[in-house]
Every structure is written in C-alpha cells, then in structure tokens.
Amino acid sequence: MTHFLTMDTGNTAWILTSTMLVLLMSIPGIALFYGGLVRQKNVLSIIMQTIFLVAVVSILWVAVGYSWVFDTSFKDNGNPLAFLIGGFGKAFMHGIGTDTLSTGNIPELLFAMFQCMFAVITPALILGAFAERIKFSGYIMFIILWVILAYFPMAHWVWGGGFLQEMGAIDFAGGTVVHINAGISALVMAIMLGKRSDYMAGHPISPHNVTFVFMGTAFLWLGWFGFNAGSGLAADGIAANAFMVTHIATAAAAVTWMVIDWVFNKKPTIIGTCTGAVAGLVAITPAAGSTGLAGAFCIGAVTSAICFCMVAIVKPKLRYDDSLDAFGVHGIGGIVGSILTGVFATQSITGSDGVQGALYGDWHQFLVQVIATVVAIVFSAAVTFILFKIVDSTVGLRVDKRVEEEGLDIYEHGESAYNR
C-alpha cells in the first residue's frame, strides 16, 4: 500500500466500472441463471438466497474480511496466526481514507470494494448444489460461517501474501479462491444433504424458465470482463489481454459444448450452450493474466469437453444430486483451468521476467499449480464437512419432505413468483 501518491484516474475509472460489472454477476446474473434452472415453485428461494448473500457478505467484508485477507500486521509482528489471518488492523476500514492509495494508484477504498465483489460471488456459486431442498435458516448460518472460515483464509493464502502466493501460484482472478473453493464445497454439500426426493440419476429435472438461464448467462459473460480484466487493477495491456482471452475461451467453450450436445443428444440446446459458456468463463479466470490467444482456445475447448463428461456421464453414474451442476462446472472448470494455467502461461504476456508454463519448458510452474489446486480442494472439502455437521446438528439444513414437494417459495418465504 502506498500513501499520498497521485491517484491514477484512468485506472480508478476502470476499476469502478469493473466493480459494478462483478456485482452484476451475482445480482442479477446468478439469480437469473440458477433461478431459471430450478422449478417454478423454488425460483424465489434462489433469488432470496442470492440477494441475502450479497448483503450479508458485504457487511462481513468491510467489518473484518478485507483486513483478514489483506492486512499485514500479524506477519509484520511475527504473529503465528499470520498463516491464516493477515490481521485486524484494517477492520471496518480503519486507517483507510479517501486519499489512501493501493496498487495501481487507485483508492484503497475502491480496491476493497472490488475485492468485496469476489467475496460476494464465491458463495453464490455454491447455491446450485443444494437448490430446492435447503432451509433458509440453515443456509444463513452455513454461508456466514463458510465465508469466514473458508473464503477469507483461502483469499489470504493466494492474494494477501499467504504461503500459496509466496510459492508462486498463479491465480489471476479466482481459479482456486473462487471456483475450486466454491465447487468443492458444492460437491460436499450435495452429497451430505442428500438427493432431492424426486431426483432420478440420468433424468434431469426440467428448468422452469430457459429464457432466465440465457439472461443470467448474458449477465455473467458481461460481468466476467470486470472479474478478469479488472484483476490487474490497471487500464493497460494486461487488462486488454485478459478481456480478449476471457471472451475467446468462453466462445470456444460454448461452441464445444453445443457440438458435443448435438452429436450425443441429437439437439443443440440453449441450456447446454449456456453451461458451456460458463465453464469457459470459469476455466480462463486463473489464466487471464498469463495466457495468450492459443492458450485461451485450448483452455476453453478442453474444459468444456471435460465438464460435459462430468455433468452428462460421471454424475449420473455416481448418482449424487448436484442440482444445478455447481461442482460439475465451477469445481471441475476451476481445477482444469488452474492446472492448465501451469501449461499455457507465456512470457509474451507475463513479460521477460515473468513465469511461463510447461508448454514453454517450465515444469516447475505446472507443479506449483497442481499443489495450489490440491490445497484448495482439501481445505475446502474439510471446512465444508465440519461446517455441515455443526449447522445440521444445531438449526438443521434439510427442509421437511412436504416443504420440498410443495415448494420452498411459499413455505420458506410466503410468496409465489407467478400470481394471476
């Protein structure tokens, strides 16, 4: 952090815009995408979970999260807790004024808000795993604890000067922190919560509004430019590259999924193409600041094919009910993207002194990416397992069978999405 330097108005304007774009991913992006995929009787429960999450995580972030992740006081003072927590010196934005600048010579208050949107979107991704069968009260307790005990430590390790960042792990915009973290948690929750009462493996439950799914995908695709191209914290060439590779990887993934869908299921579907696009967005996220155009094509296409296999083949065989494929898309996409970052990173993007991947002879970076990926998987799974046990034994997580059959909207929120 640097104080009293001249603010870069160009960078500041871009990060202001990026921050709004990332918020657009949660509301309305995730709310519409997931809301369209569930049945009519449960769409409001998804919307409520999403908007509540945006509100409560934002409060947690300014109160303690930003300091937990980015403060360096514990490390500076030799506090052993620095392994997990940066410190509490910046709690409630203490000591940060309008003239305090951060990386890129943007206001630190803006940097904090930009990072807040990442904290907001991450737990929102988990919602798809337990859709249509979770108590709102249990959801509240689980999400609050998960953000504090899973998201904050992981973000500190990767972005706040923690051991994974010091190891040299590349995660430009959230492959490990956001997508693996949320995706693995989604899988654990889906398995431990159990299947929906009418779920049959290999027989997907039809979404109630495909138009909502398309609209949600459009907001996600648009918002992701802030997610990735804003993560360099500057309006420069790296941002331009991140913008391009994000778009191309997404395009390649969407087309790949559509073609596979057409070949195997005889119809090119909107749901499939939208799902493929999201898989591409997920996979390019960690690589957007280090990968060029060729890498973007490969990452998008390969990840889309792997995620298709996970959703269409592996999930039905293993018979777990990941309702909206949060693990199959975000978890698997994050894992593949994180590892492939160690393959396709190139000094043509990172600079002559920057890292490069295995494709260009640096197998060390590939190994670092694998280690970071494994750490994220193990940590997220362990924390989620423990939190599930705690929340389920106190307030409970699964709704009653009658509530599940008749819909969460009426029983949990007293409202119906469609009234005559």
Domain boundaries, the chain: 10-413
| pLDDT of 352 above 90 | no
Smallest CA-to-CA distance from 344 within 327, 364, 376, 366 is with: 366
Averaged pLDDT for residues 269-296: 97
Q: Of 24-28, 155-159, 169-173, 195-199, where does mean pLDDT reach its minimum?
A: 195-199
Q: Is 326 helix (H, G, I), strand (E, B) or coil?
A: helix
Secondary element (H or E) of residue 86 = none
pLDDT tens for 44-95 read: 999 999 999 999 999 999 999 999 999 999 999 999 999 999 999 999 999 9
pLDDT for 201: 75
- The CB-based long-range contact list for 410-419 (8 Å cut-off, 24+ gap) reads 410/41, 412/45, 412/48, 412/135, 412/136, 413/44, 413/45, 413/48, 413/136, 415/44, 416/44, 417/40, 417/43, 417/44, 418/40
CA distance 30 to 205: 19
Q: Check residue 354 and give its pLDDT.
A: 84
The mean pLDDT of 102-113, rounded to a whole number, is: 94
Q: What is the pLDDT of residues 198-240, one digit of tens each?
A: 888 767 788 999 999 999 999 999 999 999 999 999 999 999 9
Longest Cα–Cα distance of the chain, Å, equals 64
Mean pLDDT over all residues of the chain? 95
**Cβ neighbours of residue 325 closer than 8 Å, sequence gap 6 or more:** 128, 275, 311, 315
Least confident of 10-14, 109-113, 262-266, 415-419: 415-419
Whether residue 162 is predicted with pLDDT greater than 80 in this model: the reply is: yes
Query: At residue 419, does pLDDT exceed 90?
Result: no
Comparing 2-16, 176-190, 257-271, 283-297, which segment has the lowest mean pLDDT? 2-16
- Closest by CA to 195, choosing from 248, 255, 129, is 129
Which pLDDT value is given to residue 62? 98
Where b means 16+ CB within 10 Å and e means fewer, 165-180 reads beeebbbbbbbbbbbb
Task: Give 128-160 pLDDT, tens digit per residue.
Answer: 999 999 999 999 999 999 999 999 999 999 999
In this predicted structure, what is the pLDDT of residue 351? Answer: 87
Kindly indicate the confidence band of residue 3, based on its pLDDT and cuts at 50, 70 and 90. Answer: very low
Q: How far is CA 14 from CA 9, 19, 199, 420, in A?
A: 9, 9, 45, 44
Q: In this structure, what are the phi and psi dihedrals at residue 3, rounded to the nearest 5 degrees?
A: -105, 145
Q: Is 133 in contact with 399 (CB distance < 8 Å)?
A: yes
β-pairing verdict for 2-3 and 100-102: antiparallel
pLDDT of residue 2: 44
Q: What ranges in 77-202 are assigned the alpha helix state H?
A: 108-126, 136-146, 152-159, 163-167, 181-193
The CA distance from 338 to 265, in Å, is 29
What's the rounded Cα separation, in Å, for the pair 414 and 370? Answer: 46
Q: Check whether 4 has a pLDDT greater than 60.
A: no
pLDDT recorded at residue 203 = 75
Q: At residue 242, does pLDDT exceed 90? A: yes
Confidence of residue 175 (pLDDT cuts 50, 70, 90): very high
348-370: average pLDDT: 92
CA dist list (Å): 5 to 2, 66, 107: 7, 22, 10
What CATH code would you report for 10-413? Answer: 1.10.3430.10
For position 150, what pLDDT does the model report?
97
Q: What is the pLDDT of residue 120?
A: 97
Answer for the pair 257, 274: CB distance below 8 angstroms, yes or no.
no
Q: What is the CA radius of gyration of the chain?
A: 21
